[in-house]
Amino acid sequence: VAKRILGRCLVCRKKEKKTAGQAMGMLPTFKMPACSPFTACGVDLMGPYLVHEERSKKVWYNVWATCYTCFSSKACAFVLSTGYSALAFLRAHGRFTNTYGTPATCVVDHGSNILAAAFRPDWQQVAGAAGMSGTRWLVTPKGAPWRAGQAERHIGLCKRILDRLLKGGTFSGTFEELEALLARCAWLLNSRPLGFRTFTDADFSLLCPNDVLLGRAARTNPP
C-alpha cells in the first residue's frame, strides 16, 4: 500500500528520481574477433556517376561504385560497375575478390539489386562463377540502415573527398578516370590514423589501415 501511494505522488516521484543508464547494444559476433582485412566487411553502393566513352564524348552512361569496408581494420575499397543490376554487382564483386580474397561475411542493406544477387534461384552457379562460394551474406532489416553504418560512413567521407578533389564541380570523365579517382579516395581514407604505437616516451608511430593492407608504414603518396 505504501509503495502504491508513493508511486502516485508526483512530489515523491520527483524527489526519488533516478538517472537511467545508457542502453548499449551488443556487438555482432563478426565484429569481435581479430581477423585478416576484408574477412568481415560491409557492402553498399554509391552513385550513379555519369561517364563517357574513351574515344567519344557523345556517348554517356551511368556507373555505380561498390564500397567495401572492413569491420576489423576499418579499411575500404571501391569497385566500379557499369550497371545497377545483380549481374553487374556480381562482376564487380568478382574483381574485388580477385584482389582481396573471398570474404567470410558480408553485411548489406536492403537494396533490391544486392538481394537479387544474393538470393537468386541459380545462386550456386553464379557463386561458383564469381568466386563467391563460402561467403555468408547478412541482410539488414528494412528501416535499419544503421546496422551497416560503417559502409555508409565511408561513402559519406568519399563524397566529401571527391568534392574537394573536384573543387566543388561535377565529375565529367571516363570510366578509367573515375576508377583512378576512387582509388585515390580509398588511399586517403585508408591513410587516416586510427591509433598509435609507442616505443619510448618521445618516440611513437601512427597506425592506419594502409599499414595493415600493405604490411608496412605507408606515409607517402602512392606512385
pLDDT for 68 equals 92
Residues 6+ apart with CB under 8 A from 129: 90, 94
Output the pTM of the full model: 0.75
- Tally Cβ neighbours within 10 Å of residue 179: 17
Instruction: Please give the average per-residue pLDDT across 4-15, as a whole number.
Output: 83
pLDDT for 216 equals 60
In angstroms, how far is the first alpha carbon of the chain from the final one?
78
Comparing 138 with 187, the larger pLDDT belongs to 187
pLDDT for 29 equals 75
pLDDT for 120 equals 47
Comparing 197 with 158, the larger pLDDT belongs to 158
Residue 85 CA to residue 62 CA, distance in Å, equals: 12
Confidence category of residue 72, pLDDT binned at 50, 70, 90: confident
Distance of CA 21 to the CA centre of its chain: 30
Beta bridge partners of 43: 68, 108
Residue-wise pLDDT for 178-188, tens only, equals 899 999 999 98
Mean pLDDT highest for which of 17-26, 33-42, 82-91, 175-184? 175-184
pLDDT for 14 equals 82
Confidence category of residue 60, pLDDT binned at 50, 70, 90: confident
